[in-house]
Amino acid sequence: MSRLGTLYGLGVGPGDPELLTIKAARILGQVDAVFAASSSKNDYSIAEAIVAPHLPAGASVLRLPFPMTRDDAVLAAAWEANAAAMTGVLAAGRDAAFITLGDPLLYSTFGYVLPLVRDRLPGLPIEIVPGITSFQAAAAKTGQVLVESGENLLIASGVDEEGRLRRALAEADNAVIVKAYRNFPRLRTMLGELGLAPGTTFVTRLGHAGESVVDDLAEAPEKPHYLSLCLIKRGRV
Cα(57)–Cα(197) distance, integer angstroms: 47
Q: Identify the structural domains of the chain with CATH numbers, from first to last.
A: 7-129 (3.40.1010.10), 134-233 (3.30.950.10)
For the chain, which ranges sit under pLDDT 50?
A: none
* 144 strand-pairing partners: none
Q: What is the pLDDT of residue 42?
A: 65
pLDDT computed for residue 237 by the predictor:
52
CB-CB neighbours of 51 under 10 Å: 23
Residue 182's pLDDT is what?
85
- CA 88 to CA 86: how far, in whole Å? 5
Relative to beta strand 153-157, strand 200-204 is unpaired
Q: What is the pLDDT of residue 41?
A: 65
Residue 50: DSSP 8-state:
H
**Is 0.85 surpassed by the pTM of this model?**
yes
- pLDDT score of 236: 63
* Distance of alpha carbon 197 from alpha carbon 216, whole angstroms: 8
